[in-house]
Structure 1
Amino acid sequence: MLGIANYAMKGPMQSIIAVVLFSALSVFLAPFGILVGAIIALVTLRVSVTEGFKTLVWGVVSNIAVTMIISGNYFPAIIAVIEYMLPIWLMAVVLRQTNSLASALQLAMVVTGLSVVVFYMAIPNPADWWIALFNQYVAPLLESSQISYDAELIPNLADMVTMLMAVFMIVLWFSILVIARWWQSELYHPGQFKTDFYELSLPRSTAYVAIVLAIIGLVSGSGAGLVYDLSGIIIAGLMFQGIAIAHHTVAKKELNTAWLVGLYILLFLFPQAMLILATIGLVDSWVDFRNRWDNEEL
């Protein structure tokens, strides 16, 4: 992957070629979109906001062109732009101006939160809307393929779809930005990425919002809805702070990296572990674990 970044940074033409190529490939295989977003972010961080925007435009145009040629419908390309292009460029702009991964992460959380609020304004009952989509498009495919499923689980899953999509977008956007930041560090400032990531700390206002949402959820007694979905966004953001604390702790305590491998395996197998890391991030807003570890060495 580092070779891709090195090629893209040889000049404006190389970055455009790389973005156009991977953007076109992402129409056939979506994971290539991660490279598109990372290249856009890297150009923005290393060269300029303007050059980053140019690569963004080329990525958008190539994706729309290939999508229209194949399907005759531009809507999938719009989804691709939202999924791994435009938000990544905006986050890279913030990171370039503030030199703070936390600020870029907070932007992703705010954008996602506003999107969820607008979604609820347009569709007052998202769960019913998701069920209708399932019954219209997914259920017939499953039945024609003779794939059995438990119909009683669908309403419960529908309650979580909005929140899961919001969490997915934050994790995806920030992960792509982190790749770009790592590329920048490896190519131009070796070791800087670790410093930046170890210092990731969301403002205390995020913790206050998390507490307020938790209180509203308890008082209202609602298991789903807008508060539930917004809480998922806060948890996703604080999870990254918890991960940063884990990496910092392993480094400072000189622990075996197997602890981090185990952590990521746990996250992959049991997504509920996000809540544990988010809780650590929440508590860190007042306890400041990393500063404590640093002071112990003095």
Structure 2
Amino acid sequence: MRPIADFIMRGRVQATLVVAGCAALPLLFWLSAAAGCLVLLRRGSDASSVLGLGLLSGLVSWHFTQDPAGLLVLLGAWSLALMLRAGHSWNRILLGSVAVGLLCAVCVGTVFSSAVEPLAKAFADVLPQAMGEVYQSFSADQKAAFGALMVPLTIISIAFSSQVLSVLCLILGRYWQAMLYNPGGFGREFRAIRIPRKVALSLLAIMCLAPFFGTYTLILSPLCSVPLVFAALALIHGLVAQKKLAGFWLVGVYVTLLPFMQLLGPLLVVLAIVDSLIDFRGRLASKDADNANGEG
């Protein structure tokens, strides 16, 4: 990944080529978003022309593909990069990602509504096959209710994925910046992420109560889980570094997480909340200091 970062920061032309060129390609919009984050974090307001051309390229791509995902991720990642550039902590960045997810949902439901209906119809067509005999046992009213949920669930899915990808692109851009100009800096930043107790409990309360206030407030549950999931991953990274464990532990975590996210996601949320109450890293650091005997 370093050669890509080196090429992006070689000059304005190279940065524009990556940001604008990748934004025009549906499968590489994430690289455009990460490259834009790198340029913005490093150059500040000087990156405006590069980001402007990247945004224009993203608009052109949306016009031809009618897929809003790339444009939403570009705007979301660069908005979070502006917060990070302004000196906000990663805790605030992750909380800001909830607002990014909500704005994405509003945009998808209004500006990009034409792209939602075909996806919702495709999900509705697949639903009987996915649920099998269970779906066939439903009454006509229950089937109609499931059909009515397709559009809201599609909006929630797009907004949630846009939020997660925005955070991941910012992480990649920050990692590139640290690799080029501050080796090891991003690792220290990420491992220090810990959601404060009141904030973590507030997020948990919103996640639990949101489904009771209607279909569209249901979106708050997955969006509010994102900061806690990333905080749990930061905790795992911090414990591995603190105990000087081998890197394969982290590889094992991510290899397990990707296919079983639906099962492990709630466990990570719980882990982050418990850490906000107990502070595992702080307790282990204190314990190690108390046990220091001057050897090694």
What TM-score results when the alignment is normalised by the length of structure 1? 0.78
2:54 is aligned with 1:64:
no
2:292 corresponds in structure 1 to none
CA contact (8 A) 1:236 1:274 kept: no
2:278 is aligned with 1:282:
no
Q: Report the AA paired with residue 222 of structure 2.
A: G
Distance 1:226 1:186 in 2: 41
Q: How far 1:138 moved relative to its partner?
A: 6.3
Distance 2:206 2:61 in 1: 43
Distance 1:235 1:67 in 2: 28
RMSD across aligned C-alpha pairs, in angstroms?
3.3
Residues 207, 63 of structure 1: CA spacing in aligned structure 2 closer, same or farther, 3 A cutoff? Answer: closer
The gaps in structure 1 that reach 5 residues or longer are none
2:47 is aligned with 1:52:
yes
Distance 1:39 1:214 in 2: 33
Distance 2:102 2:57 in 1: 29
Q: Report the AA paired with residue 279 of structure 1.
A: V
Q: How does 1:1-298 map to 2 (within 5 A)?
A: 1-24=1-24, 26-27=25-26, 30=27, 32-48=28-44, 50-65=45-60, 71=64, 75-76=66-67, 78-83=68-73, 85-98=74-87, 100-116=89-105, 133=118, 136=121, 150=131, 152=135, 155=146, 158=150, 160-214=153-207, 216=209, 220=212, 225-271=215-261, 272-298=263-289
Distance 1:135 1:234 in 2: 23
CA contact (8 A) 1:19 1:39 kept: yes
**Cα deviation code 1:12-36 (max 9, x no counterpart):** 2221122222223x23xx2x11110
Q: Report the AA paired with residue 60 of structure 1.
A: L
Distance 1:46 1:58 in 2: 18
Distance 1:239 1:264 in 2: 12
Residues 281, 41 of structure 1: CA spacing in aligned structure 2 closer, same or farther, 3 A cutoff? Answer: same
- For the residue of structure 2 that corresponds to 1:47, the secondary structure is helix
Distance 1:8 1:265 in 2: 29
2:294 corresponds in structure 1 to none
Q: How far 1:227 moved relative to its partner?
A: 4.4
Residues 81, 205 of structure 1: CA spacing in aligned structure 2 closer, same or farther, 3 A cutoff? Answer: farther
Distance 2:119 2:180 in 1: 46
Q: Report the AA paired with residue 17 of structure 2.
A: I
CA contact (8 A) 1:164 1:232 kept: no
CA contact (8 A) 1:116 1:230 kept: no
Q: How far 1:56 moved relative to its partner?
A: 1.6
**Cα deviation code 1:228-272 (max 9, x no counterpart):** 321111212200000000011011112232222221122112112
Distance 1:199 1:288 in 2: 11
The gaps in structure 2 that reach 5 residues or longer are 137-142, 290-296
Q: How far 1:105 moved relative to its partner?
A: 1.7
Q: Report the AA paired with residue 37 of structure 1.
A: A
Q: How many residues align?
A: 272
Q: Report the AA paired with residue 88 of structure 1.
A: A
Q: How far 1:279 moved relative to its partner?
A: 0.9
- For the residue of structure 2 that corresponds to 1:281, the secondary structure is helix
CA contact (8 A) 2:37 2:81 kept: yes
Q: How far 1:9 moved relative to its partner?
A: 0.6
CA contact (8 A) 2:69 2:158 kept: no
Distance 2:243 2:178 in 1: 24
CA contact (8 A) 1:238 1:278 kept: yes
